[in-house]
Amino acid sequence: MALVTLSADDVKKVKIVDPGKYALLIEKWEVKPSSKGDGSPVHHISQRIQGGEFDGVPIMSFLSKKMNSQLKLLMQLSAVAGQIVGDAGGQFDTSQLEGKVIGAYVVTGQDQSGDDQNVINRYFPASDL
């Protein structure tokens, strides 16, 4: 017989939260090249729910400018950072959000295998929670 040990953090990694508004801590934001080899950047955002029934549940977001829905999320994040990207375009410093708590609406989506996962539907300032 073999024993498998699962930590509380292991359990939280697969916990599906109820759809709704949550406070999220942006733990880490990295930009890496796409695995498709086309040189396009993908934003890897490590987030964790703060407070309430689902406190500590991690949510990973992988955002690319190639998909409009993900581009909208990046623009929402720039607004939360106080760096509005206008009609002419622009840049924002992602490091301003690392370590900050922001608001997000979380829904249930599916990963590439068809398994349920927590997905960010939109971002907003924590003051709107």
Strand, coil or helix: 129: coil
* pTM for this model (two decimals): 0.85
State mean pLDDT over 79-90. 77
pLDDT of residue 24: 96
The answer to whether 49 touches 23, Cβ cutoff 8 Å, is yes
- Count of alpha carbons within 13 angstroms of residue 15, beta-carbon side: 18
Token pair for residue 89?
A: 């375009």
Domain boundaries, the chain: 17-83+94-128
Q: In terms of Cα–Cα distance, which of 56, 94, 55, 57 is closest to 74?
A: 94
Q: In this model, does residue 55 exceed pLDDT 80?
A: yes
- Per cent of the chain over pLDDT 90 is 53
Q: How many CB atoms lie within 10 A of CB 9?
A: 10
The confidence band for 102, taking pLDDT boundaries of 50, 70 and 90, is: very high
Which tops the pLDDT comparison, 124 or 65?
124
pLDDT of residue 36: 77
CATH of 17-83+94-128, one of 2.60.120, 2.40.50, 1.10.287, 3.30.420: 2.40.50
Summary mean pLDDT of the chain: 89
Please tell me the distance from the alpha carbon of residue 49 to that of residue 103, in angstroms, as a whole number. 10
